Amino acid sequence: MIHPFLARLRRGPLLADGAMGTLLHARGAAFEQCVEELNLAQPDWVREIHLAYIKAGAEVIQTNTFAANRIKLAECNLGDKTRDINFRGVKLAREAREISGAAAWIAGSVGPLGKRARRNGVLQHAAAAEAFREQIHVLWEAGADLLILETFSDLGELLLAAETARAATDLPVVAEITFGNDGLTFEGAGPAEVAQRLAQAGVDVAGVNCSLGPARILEFIAQMRAAEPALLLSAMPNAGLPFHSGGRMAYPTAAPYFAERVPQFLAAGATLLGGCCGTTPAHIAAMRGALDRVADRGLQPADRRAVAELSPLPMVRVQPVESAALLALEAEDAEAGPAPTGLLRKLREGRFVVSVEVDPPRGFSAAKMIEGARIAQQHGADAVNVADSPMARVRMGALALCVLIQQQVGIETILHFTARDRSLTGLQADLIGAHALGIRNIIALTGDPPSLGDQPDSTPVYDVDSVGLVHIIDGFNRGLDRAGKPFGSRSAFTIAVACDPTRPDLAQEVDRFHKKVSEGAHLTMTQPIFDPAVWQRFYDLYEQRHGPFPVPVLIGILPLQSHRHAAFLHNEVPGITLSEDALARMARAGADGRREGVKMAQELLLELMARPKVQGVYLMPSFGRYEVACEVLEVVQRGAD
């Protein structure tokens, strides 16, 4: 599957940010200081610079981790803080993205290792590979969307970094070289040779950064494209050659000059543009304006390749569940009642249903989440379920995001609806509004208490719990409000409820679940599980205590990213309990944890599809990596082929 970043890049040019060190020095950082340390010492500086670039129009922001490898950090007596500095670097970029609400891609910045990685001028490959691996793995684990290997003057070292990145993660790799004024690298390679060797190494994007100003880098890019026409290219020049002014380094190239060069870079084949030393948000804003003008004229980059069509999931038939609530609603439909939702129709038809979960943004823009919903739709998902301020942390309202997704993507949504924040009046008003806006699938939840979240002083409402909420929605479907007064018409909500088959007090959970479905629920969605036997125990216990299982089930599947991720979820996140086998497999996987996590999720999906007691799944991406969740679905397509 093509990574969303690469798919986006192939649709048109992207704008990256500019210099980080230049702006940190302008804020008072000493020239001899390790600026990467400022991720810990002055996080506000770093975050504010990211925000400035996003405001200027950057779509790719690079983490302040350029020299944050163990070898370089050891020179500043910071080797023991390698993990902390890199992890915080990504976190600050993510925070800036959330604050801005922009759909910016976060690029983990990786630079060369310096003299200490060499002995008598020769790169020590084993030690160098380990240093790259350590840094890259932390950047990936912290949530970087891609890697940028930048400002390498030694092509051999860049190739080693690219090889290590390929082995350690599945993130897209942008590999950028820096040339001298003579157009050659440290070992004498020219642009054509660099392009050929980077293409052979399988990097996703090759390019030039730092070096010189725009004019020379434009020449280098043109030569690289001539040598490798199919290779995606990036260009991030300095703001000219630096000079000393007032005791500091200054750069001569003004922002308008960068803007003038944008059409030339596009014509030369570059699709990822940005700046390096000396560039500022003003330069990026000028380039943003130039790119927008180019787009208005309909011009295209020289190398444009279409993104392959993604195949939808094949229809999978499963055993329908004779739910009393489903049958009742079907009887109402026969009496010319409101039309059922698409989700409900598929469950009635015995379709295996797939949803992908999206968390609302902590900001005012939902662009990234809408793109995630679009990716899910392209991979054949039937619906997108939208969480309601999970863990009681302030987020965009789930109803608003559901409306945006249905309007802009055209895929059905499942609204997580909690009783935590709404009085009885507000709760019913919001449900009426949701129905009017076309949001008809509701999962009724009590909601996490505010004490878990970032607003502990917030006052919970809880006029009803999830059982009472189901009762209210079912009343709406029968044309009655909570007081039993007729509305004059009936709603057409499909009602879902949650259950947790991993709870130690399983009998209590089964009995509470029975109360929910008895109030009129149509289906249930489970907390994530990692072993089908966990669901089987819940299912069997329900039938022992209450009779035939009453509703269809969508099982939660959460692809794990690493052993650290697995341990965190198991030990620190309420409602998520991993099996011992899942924890052991992730521990054995080591650096291949992400691949193993996808493999485990695929195995679980296939086994659940083969069971008559499961009618669907919903996938829960971590760190907003919707492409990883959708990768799980590819096993279904391969099986059908």
Read off the pLDDT of each residue in 404-431 and give the average, rounded to a whole number: 94
So what's the pLDDT on residue 564?
84
Strands 494-499 and 248-250: unpaired
So what's the pLDDT on residue 249?
63
Same fold, 13-296 and 324-450+458-640: yes
- Per-residue tokens: 31: 């020239």
Helix axes 626-640, 593-609, angle to 10 degrees: 50
Separation between Cα atoms, residue 533 and residue 431, nearest integer Å? 36
> Highest mean pLDDT range out of 2-6, 38-42, 347-351?
38-42
Which run of H or of E encompasses 536? helix 532-546
- Mapping DSSP to helix (H, G, I), strand (E, B) and coil, where does residue 317 land? strand
Superfamily of domain 13-296, CATH level 4: Homocysteine-binding-like domain (3.20.20.330)
Domain locations along the chain: 13-296, 324-450+458-640
Looking at 13-22, 70-79, 617-626, which range is the least confident one? Answer: 617-626
So what's the pLDDT on residue 313?
52
- Residue 508: count of CB within 10 angstroms of its CB: 10
So what's the pLDDT on residue 186?
81
- Per-residue tokens: 135: 């840094």
So what's the pLDDT on residue 602?
92
Separation between Cα atoms, residue 439 and residue 431, nearest integer Å? 9
Taking only the tens place, the pLDDT of each residue in 177-236 is 999 878 899 888 999 999 999 999 999 999 999 878 888 899 999 999 999 999 999 999
Nearest to 110 by CA among 75, 146, 78, 59: 146
Class of domain 324-450+458-640: alpha beta
- Helix H segments across 143-271? 155-168, 191-201, 214-227, 255-268
pLDDT category of residue 629 using cuts at 50, 70 and 90: confident
Separation between Cα atoms, residue 215 and residue 240, nearest integer Å? 9
Q: What b/e sequence results for 209-247 when a residue is b if at least 16 CB atoms lie within 10 Å of its CB, and e otherwise?
A: bbbbbbebbbbbbbbbbebbeebbbbbbbbbbeeeeeee
So what's the pLDDT on residue 383?
97
Burial of 9 per CB tally in 10 Å (0-12, 13-18, 19+): buried
Separation between Cα atoms, residue 209 and residue 134, nearest integer Å? 24
Separation between Cα atoms, residue 301 and residue 440, nearest integer Å? 43
Taking only the tens place, the pLDDT of each residue in 320-362 is 565 555 555 455 444 445 688 999 999 989 999 999 999 999 8
Handedness of CA 153, 159, 165, 168 (dihedral sign): negative
Taking only the tens place, the pLDDT of each residue in 94-152 is 999 989 988 899 999 999 998 888 888 888 999 999 999 999 999 999 999 999 999 99
